[in-house]
Every structure is written in C-alpha cells, then in structure tokens.
Structure 1
Amino acid sequence: MLQNRGRVEGIRVLVVDDERPTRLLLEKELPRAGYVVTSAESGEGALEQVRAKDFDVILLDLKMPGIGGMEALRRIRESGAAAEVVILTGHPDVDSAITAMKLGAYDYLTKPFKLVELEEVLRRAAERRLLQRENTALRHMVDQREPPPLLVGQSPAMKALLETVQRIAGSDANVLIQGESGTGKGLVARRIHEASPRGTGPFLVINCGGFQDPLLESELFGHEKGAFTGATSVKQGLFEVAEGGTLLLDEVGEMSPAMQAKLLQVLDTRELRRVGGTRMHRVDVRIVAATNKDLSQELRAGRFREDLYYRLNVVSLRLPALRERREDIPLLIEHFLNRFGRAGYAAKSVSPEASQLLVEYPWPGNVRELANAIERLVILTPRPVITPEDLPPNLRAPIGLPHGPSQGPASLSEMERIHIARVLSETGGKKMQAARLLGIDIKTLNQKIKRYNIIP
C-alpha cells in the first residue's frame, strides 16, 4: 500500500493502460496516498482526458492498441499540457526509453513494478510539477516585488481598518477595496493575503486599466500556442499561476463590459478557457479587487455590471484619504525618512515647523504623494534638518483659499484643481513629472485634467 502524503495531497494523476487489472490496482491504491486518480484505457481516451482536464502526472503505458504511448506522449506535449509523464512498459527497450525522454517524459518504469517503486517515481514527478508551479509564480512575484506591506497609522480610521483586515483574512471571500489613488490599496490587499491561510501561496497583481481587452484576456486567462500572431508557445494566465494564492485585480473599474462578462464567468464557475483553447481549466484563487472609482455609482450609470459588482463585493473595505487621518502624517514622515535612510541616503529629520506644514497640506495624491515628497526632500536638502525653506512652493503656501474677504473656504475639488494646475505649472506642463510629484499615474492625471478643464 502507498503511504506517501503531504505535498502530494490532491495531486491529479491520469492512469493510461489498456490492461484493466493495472488500472483497477492504481485506482484503488493511489487515492490512499492522497492522489486524485482518473483513468483511460487507450491513447485516444488519454488525449480526450487531457483536452478536458488538467493533470499533474500522467502514468502512460507504452504498448496499447490504436494510438500507442509514444504517439500519445508526442501529442500530449504538442498540446502544451504541463503534466509530468511517466512511461510504463512491460517490454523494456533502451531506444524506446531514449525516445520517450527526448519527447519530454519524466521517467520510465518497467512492468511488473512494485508499488513502492511506483510510489517513489510518482512522488518525485509530483514534486517536480509542484516546483514548476511555484517557480512560475515566483517569477511573476519577483517581477512585481515590493517592500513588505507595512501599514503605518494609529488614527481611529486606520485602527478600524486593520481590525477589519484581520477579521476577514481568515475567510476565502472576495474582497473589494475602494479608495483614492495613493491610499495604499495594494498594501492592504497584500496584508489580507499574508494573514490568510493562502499566505504561503502566490500573491500576484494586474492593473486592469493598463491593457487593451485582447492583452488583458491573455494576461488573466492565458493563451494556447497559435492563438494569435506572436503566440509561439502556451502561456498560463495569472488565474492559473496564482493557484492556491491571491490575485489582486487593481483598477477593476476600468474593465470593459466584455471583459467584465468574461471575469464574471470565471468567478461563477471557477473554470477558465485559455484564449484559442477548448479545454476548461479549474482555478483555485482568492480575488481581491481594488478601484479608485465609486463602483456603486458606476453601476447606477450602467458602466459596471451589477452581477459582477455583487460577486466582487462580498466584503468591502474603504480606505481613508490621508487628509482624513492627518494625525498619522508625522508617523508616515518618520517611516519614510527611515526607509530612505536605509536606502543609502544621508539621514535627515524634519523640523517642527516643516512638519506642521506637511500635516496641513491636503495631499490629493495621498500616501504615495507624501512618500515622493519626502524622498525628494531627502535627496535635495543639503542640511540634516528639513525646514520650511526646503519645501517646494506648493507645500509651503496654503492652497485653495479664494482671495477676497467675502468668499468662504474652497471645496475639496477646487483645492485639488488648483493644486494640480500649480504642479503642472511648476513642471512646465510635463505630465509625467507632474504625475510623479502628485503620486498618481499618468492616466489618473489625464482624467483629472479633463475633469477640471485644466490647460497644461
């Protein structure tokens, strides 16, 4: 009897053999070790199963009527299936073994075999498949590497947020995070992931507003070889790569209606079909969605699907803007001074007068804008202490206050309009530079320029 469990628990195995006793034996013994077993009695049956499902390991008999094991192996590899293949044969032949290895077989086992021998080969094949999955996820995570998710703040708003994050982390429910640009939606998503049972799995991020529909579909769901010009090989999408982990759909409010429908189908069925493919792939991933839009308003305007909104909004979090938690600004200043000091810059501090100006400033770009401002001050200030004279004009002068005694305070949107116009003026109309100073991306800046009718 096979005894190995642990990392092989749930590994999907396809047994392909025309001999019924062999199939029955493996169908009985392998599940006892934690494997999930499907069987086929021919090469044709194996190819049908591979087209319909994903497998981690395939035990493939070499000599079968019709499509033999070698031809089945060749077609399996051409299909792009990532399963490890172990060849089974009652007629050992060195040339056949070499051919099978060249075609991509993982190992070669002679029948009759002992169950303990099969257990060892199957365990190694399963672990190799798991390592391949993990390496694929790690490559994506390295490409998206960020500092650890440190959420700084002692304000009532931040304490309430962190308590909610801890409560929801243990569930597998989808989460919708809403908040202005720069408030830390990505950090909160990572904190949820790392505090969850999926915390040891992948955490991947995609900006849904950064791709046209065909590219976004390929990034999310993957594509088959030849699906479109340039698709020279099979590619797994992020839903598959994030298996067992969490996928953050950033700026989900930017999705087109067509992509919203496709996303909804995957969330409903937990299955996807790669672009250009016919086979359904099961996916196991937690979804966290983030947006700087008010999705309930987008829903009422007909720009966001109601069914998708409720599918994503199982748990909702709203992140406070930095102006709503000004008491956290001194802590954030200290945090960023320490971070940039560790990055190799000269150690700096901020004078009480400069700190007060930073606290009073409205920070339309939120924490991201504050971080950029502190980094700039650390680099450009020649002295150890940052004073009001070191602050750029937009941080020194109160903004958004209309001139004349008869007028009251400006609205928040008017303050934001004036601030954006001032930063654009200081940068000579250079939008990329202005966006960096504001702590927002260029797309968001363009939207605000259009909304406020600002002429750069």
Structure 2
Amino acid sequence: MEMPRVIFIEDEQCLRETYDITLKRAYGENRAFNFEFYSNPDEAVAEIRKFPFNVAIVFMDHHFRTDSDKLVLGSSYIKEIKKLNHHIEVIMISGDNSNESLQLWLKNGADKFIYKDSDSNLTKIQIFMNQALTTFNAKFGKILGNKRNATHAISESIRKLKIVSVAPQMETVAQLVLQSSKSNHSILLIGDTGTGKELIARAAHENSNRSKGVFKTIDCTQFKNSQIIQSELFGSEKGAFTGAEHKVGLLELASGGTLFIDEAHHLDSSAQAMFLRFLQERKVRRVGGSAETMVDVRLIFAAKPLLKEMVEKNEFLPDLYYRMNEIKIEIPSLKDREGDVEALCYFFINRENERNGSQKNLFPDTIRLLQKYNWPGNVRELENVIKKLCVLVQDSTILPEHVFKYGELKIDMSDDDVHMIKTFDELEREQKKQKIELIMRAYRIGNYNQAEAARILDIPRKTFANRVKALGIEQLMDKKIEEERNGSPNTKDALKKSWDVVKAFLD
C-alpha cells in the first residue's frame, strides 16, 4: 500500500538510528506513513524522483562527506527536490547556527530549520512532521487513494482480457466476452475508434477453445477495390482479375482459429454478399475459382455505432448484420468510463518509463486536466499523448503547462476555469506566505533589527522596507506592536509577539 513518506537524509549513523528508534516509539508500527533514512543525498533524491508526490517532508543534514572526502552542502539539493514537487517541505537540520548558513538555507528554499544542539530538536521534528503530514493528506491523500484504486481495483475478469480498466461498464464487457468466448457464435463488437476492439477480440480468442489456433485480422478500410478485399478474405486463382495470383484467403488460413474483421461497415455490397453466403454455408470459394472448401473459423466483427443506421438506410445488408450480430458487445467510449483516464495514465507512464529507462511522473493537476478532455480518439489517443509527453518533456515531472504545449488537445476550459483560478490564487497565497515567513526568519535572526534583517537577506534596507509594506505586514505589525507596548515596556518582546501573531494569522 502506498503511504506518505517522511525522509531523513543524515550521514551520521548514530543520528539515523536515534531518529528511527524515537519516532517508531512515538508513532508505533501501525502508523499511516513510512520513514526512510539515507546517508547519501544523491541516493535519496533518486528515490524521491521515482514518485515525488507521496513525499510529505524531507529532513536534510547541512554537511555531507562523499566517498572522496569532498564536502557537499545539503542545501544544494533543495531546489532539485522542490522541482520534483514544490509541495515537499524541506527542513534543514544542523549544528551550525551561523547567519551565513541560515542565509544559504533561505536562499535555496528551505522551509524551516532545526539546530542539532537544541534540547527540543526531536520534539520539533515531530511537530514539523505532523504539520507537513496534515497538509499533505489534505492535498494528496485522495490522489494517493485513487492511485491505489487505479492499480489494485482491476477485476480478475478484466485482467483476463489483458486490458486496463476500473470502470463498471468494462466489467460488464469482460463478463460478456468471457461467456461468449466458449461458443462458436459470431461476435459483433460495436465501439468508436480507439476503444480497444482488437484487444477485446484477441482476448475472446485467447479465452476460447480455439486459443491454440491462429488469430488473423483484416482491416476493411485498407482495401478500396472490391476484388482485392474479396481476394484477401476468400483467396483467388491466378488470372481471376488483373494482377491476381494464386492465393489462400484469410478465412482458410484462420481455419481452426479466429478471424477478426475490423471496420466491417466498410465492406462493399459484393463483399457483404460473399460474407453472407459464407455465414450461411461455411464454405469458401476463391475469386475466379469454382471449388468450394469447408472451413471451421470463428468470426469476430468490429464496427462503429453507425452500422445500425447503415442497415436502416439499406447501405448494409440486414441479413448479414443479423448473422454478424449473434452476440453483440458494445464497448463504451473512454469519456464514459469512470476512473479509466487516471488508471490508464498511470499504466502508460509506467510502461514508458520501463521502455525508456526514464522516471517520468504526472503531476496530480495534470491528471485532473486530462480528465476534462473528451478523448474522441479514446484509449489510443490518450496512449499517444502520454508517449509524446514522455519524449518531449525534459523534466521528470509532467505539468499541466506541458499538456497545453505538446498535447495538441482542445480542452474545453468552461468547466475548468474556476478550478484553474483557484489554483493560481492558491499559488499566489503560498508565494506570499513564503515571502512573509522568509522576512520573519531573517528579522528574528537579526534580533528584530531591520538593517540586520536586510543584510541577512542580502538586499538593501530600503528594499526590505518596501517589501514589508508591499506584503501588507506593516500595518498589521504596527497595530499589534502598539497593543503590546501598552502592556509591556519591552519593545523587542512586543515586536516578537507581533511576529507570532502574523505567523498565526498566516497559518
């Protein structure tokens, strides 16, 4: 089962063991998240990259020694981790309490820090963990649950068809296929382009008593000439028509097995008549020949939903339609299959990673965006989009902006506008919160001196003051400071309390 991950990157074994023992004692063996401990930051980042969206928080040591005794700074990995998933909280843990180190952590995007020499550092670790896990579960808990469902909720019947689906409609299809596969009746598969008709036809063959026989296919759209398609199906004698050679047709070749006739609604009137005669007599007469041969072949036809309409307009022989339609199985379009876009996204991205030796991930908002599209090309179109994104997107994480750039999808945003606006608003709030917290940390470390805080952040004092004002902190602070001054002679204490009020306001 996939659960949130809490990652510690610490090169001192004694500390890793201390964290492990203390936290297991605090949270027990049945906790709803996993601990991971790494001594090497490169190894840890590689593991995060495999699936960054189940990582809630990373505790990072300040210094590491490589095998070649080279000093590496943990803060140099923060941006890489944030790039994989900017929601991951990164907490620096260090015995170095210098302003220079703090400035380095803040510049690289650390969310919080803990000093190793503090008596309360283990308590702080638990507090930060609890906060991060609460935030994580609110944002990603449902997504991880969906991913577990997508990968584990495929029924045994659907697995036998070797397709990917969690939709109830496809369970019905699977049951029909498995039940009909034991008979010799003709099957008519009705579905739009890309719904997987050939996969289902092959599954019907492989689960039948004919599974040891051959499975042959023909796409009726590939043959514009009536004589050629008849030759392909029934065979031909040399000289039967211009360019004709002695040829055994697919019906004979598939004897003892199954013949899948795709796009059957493209059969012309002559080919329809020959098929009707075959279904009545089960005999094959080659084009240009006179001898008839008995064949034992199971026929599976596939056509688009317009076939019934063609019958009503006398564009397709009614008798042939009803003989094809001994067992009819309708395959729903992808847009009508609840949960399948997400399940197929995970399946295709994992398959592409295996094929290419890559570690691509779909950002959760990307899956939500793909679910908004109506997929006229169905599963085949979704598969092609995922393949294209895996090739063209250079980053390990595929974002919604990549779908708009490379996907070539006309997504109707009318239902999505509110969602996207909320997303941007949320992003702006997060950025504002990060800026305010950055100023708060610098101000506190600078002993509540504005000039010192500006120096820590490496910006001019005037710029610091302008940013405080632009973020709307100034008035709130002044009001709280004044309130505290009335009850406390210590301005510094009042200012510190006002910052605590601001932080509480933000949280």
- Report if aligned partners of 2:372, 2:411 keep a CA contact under 8 Å in 1: no
- Report if aligned partners of 1:249, 1:287 keep a CA contact under 8 Å in 2: yes
- Report if aligned partners of 1:178, 1:294 keep a CA contact under 8 Å in 2: no
How far apart are the structure 1 equivalents of 2:221 and 2:413? 31
1:177 aligns with 2:189: yes
* 1:226 alignment partner in structure 2: 239
How far apart are the structure 1 equivalents of 2:339 and 2:320? 36
* 1:439 alignment partner in structure 2: none
Tell me the alpha carbon deviations over residues 63-82 of structure 1, each in whole angstroms, 9 at most, x when there is no partner. Answer: xxxxxxxxxxxxxxxxxxxx
Aligned letter for 1:267?
L
TM-score, normalised on structure 1?
0.54
1:359 aligns with 2:371: yes
1:245 aligns with 2:257: yes
* 1:197 alignment partner in structure 2: 209
After superposition, the CA RMSD in angstroms is: 2.1
* 1:214 alignment partner in structure 2: 227
* 2:427 alignment partner in structure 1: none
1:161 aligns with 2:173: yes
1:236 to 248, 268, 273: 248
1:273 aligns with 2:273: no
* 1:128 alignment partner in structure 2: none
Say which SS state the counterpart of residue 350 (structure 2) adopts.
Answer: helix
Q: Percent identity?
A: 39
1:350 aligns with 2:362: yes
Aligned letter for 1:231?
A
Alpha-carbon distance change, 149 to 377 in structure 1, aligned in 2, over 3 angstroms: farther
TM-score, normalised on structure 2?
0.48
1:20-169 equivalences under 5 Å are 150-169=162-181
How far apart are the structure 2 equivalents of 1:349 and 1:253? 40
How far apart are the structure 1 equivalents of 2:220 and 2:183? 24
* 1:297 alignment partner in structure 2: 309
Q: CA deviation at 1:326?
A: 3.5
* 2:272 alignment partner in structure 1: 260
1:329 to 341, 346, 363: 341
Aligned letter for 2:244?
A
Gaps of at least 5 residues in structure 2 are 1-159, 418-507
Alpha-carbon distance change, 396 to 180 in structure 1, aligned in 2, over 3 angstroms: closer
Q: CA deviation at 1:293?
A: 3.4
Larger radius of gyration: 2
- Report if aligned partners of 1:251, 1:290 keep a CA contact under 8 Å in 2: yes
1:390 aligns with 2:423: no
- Report if aligned partners of 1:326, 1:359 keep a CA contact under 8 Å in 2: no
How far apart are the structure 2 equivalents of 1:178 and 1:262? 22
- Report if aligned partners of 2:166, 2:338 keep a CA contact under 8 Å in 1: no
How many residue pairs get aligned? The number is 255
Gaps of at least 5 residues in structure 1 are 1-147, 404-456
How far apart are the structure 1 equivalents of 2:276 and 2:410? 48
How far apart are the structure 2 equivalents of 1:311 and 1:290? 13
- Report if aligned partners of 2:161, 2:174 keep a CA contact under 8 Å in 1: no
How far apart are the structure 1 equivalents of 2:340 and 2:286? 45
